[in-house]
Amino acid sequence: MAGEQRRVFTASPEQVRVARGWVADLLGSDHPAADDCVLLVSETFTNAVLHGGGARVEVCVQVGERAVRVEVIDDGGRGLPHYVDDPRGEGGRGLPILRALAKEWGFEVLLDERLRVWFRIEAE
């Protein structure tokens, strides 16, 4: 697959599995970045459901020759992502995992106040 694919999901915990499967299918099991992308989609989509405050989550996957970029966009309802690294905590592991696996990542508030969290993984 080359280019960009985009899909809108319902913002519910049940859709995390669906979004993971969609990205896995897009990339295929032989893609070198597939496992990391699927894991990070799971983390960022879960955060969008828990903190996004809206009814939908949009996922965009851009596949290039050397990298995969994924964007997860929610309604931006409950604040900005913040980094928590407490190994004994019940949550807060998403951004440390994102930081460990992604070549680059970030977030931005869009003009319509939605929140876009993105990451880029190099296809090695």
Q: What angle do CA 6, 12, 14 make, to 5 degrees?
A: 90
Inform me whether the pLDDT recorded for 88 exceeds 80: no
Spell out the domains of the chain, with CATH numbers in brackets: 3-103 (3.30.565.10)
Nearest CA to 57 among 8, 91, 12? 8
Q: Using pLDDT thresholds of 50, 70 and 90, give the confidence band for residue 117.
A: very high
Question: What is the average pLDDT score of the chain?
Answer: 87
Contact 5, 60 (CB under 8 A): yes
pLDDT in tens, 51-69: 888 899 999 999 988 899 9
- From residue 15, alpha-carbon distances to 58, 84, 108 in Å are 11, 24, 23
pTM, rounded to two decimals: 0.87
